Amino acid sequence: MQSDLKKTLQRQTYRHTLFPTLLLVVQELDTWEARANALNAVGLTTFHGKPWTKGNLHSTFQSYWSENNGRYSWNEHEEQLRQLEKLVA
């Protein structure tokens, strides 16, 4: 169970850190392909270390709103991460 919590914490911390970057590339670039290329150009990979594609990038971006009735709060996510860190420690 402890290893599951650690893996969840790692994944959610990655998602939390990635979110501002995703917002920036969505604002600055017009297509998912261009956004994926930009992230790959700076060496930013998926959580599993794979290059971004337009499909997996779009899916990841949309996943932030797939829960909580389409609502995502970066600040609430950060607080949840802090609570999870206490459980893992």
- Overall domain count for the chain: 1
Is the pLDDT at 3 greater than 90? The verdict is no
Is the pLDDT at 88 greater than 80? The verdict is no
pLDDT tens digits, 6-37 = 888 899 999 999 999 999 999 999 999 999 99
Sign for the CA dihedral angle at 76, 10, 82, 52 comes to negative
* The amino acid at 50: K
pTM comes to 0.80
Token pair 């060496």 is found at 43
pLDDT tens digits, 29-75 = 999 999 999 999 999 999 999 999 999 999 999 988 887 777 788 88
Q: Exposure of 57 by Cβ count < 10 A (0-12 exposed, 13-18 middle, 19+ buried)?
A: buried
Residue 12: which domain range? 2-88
Is the pLDDT at 89 greater than 80? The verdict is no
Residues 51, 41 contacting (CB under 8 angstroms) = no
